[in-house]
Amino acid sequence: MTPTEPLVGHFAGQAAVRPPLPVKLVIAGGFGVGKTTAVGSISEIEPLTTEAAITEVAAGVDDLSHTPRKTTTTVAMDFGCITIDPTLKLYLFGTPGQERFGFMWDDIVEGAVGGLVIVDTRRLDDCYAAVDYFEHKKIPFAVAVNAFDGRVEHGLDEVRWALDVSEGVPVLVFDARERGSVRDALLVVLEQALARSQG
CA atoms within 13 A on the CB side of 64: 14
Q: Are 143 and 121 in contact (CB under 8 A)?
A: no
Higher pLDDT, 14 or 167: 167
Question: pLDDT tens, 15-55?
Answer: 557 889 999 999 999 888 899 999 999 999 988 876 555 44
Lowest-confidence region among 47-61, 132-146, 161-175: 47-61
User: In whole angstroms, what is the distance from residue 140 CA to residue 149 CA?
Assistant: 29
Mean pLDDT of the 122-146 span: 92
155: left (phi over 0), alpha (psi -120 to 50) or beta: beta
Structure confidence at residue 138 (pLDDT)? 94
- Per cent of the chain over pLDDT 70 is 74
Which stretches does DSSP call E strand in the chain?
Answer: 21-29, 51-53, 72-74, 78-85, 88-94, 114-119, 141-146, 171-174
pLDDT tens digit string along 61-73?
A: 445 454 445 455 5
User: How confident is the model at residue 152, as a pLDDT?
Assistant: 80
Mean pLDDT, the chain, whole residue set = 80
- How many whole angstroms separate alpha carbon 35 and alpha carbon 38? 5
The pLDDT of residue 199 is 63
> Band of the pLDDT at 76, cuts 50, 70, 90?
low
Q: What is the pLDDT at residue 58?
A: 44
Using one digit for the tens of pLDDT, what is the confidence trace for 79-103? Answer: 999 999 999 999 999 987 556 555 6
Residues 6+ apart with CB under 8 A from 14: none
Give 143 or 60, the one with higher predicted confidence. Answer: 143
Confidence (pTM): 0.78
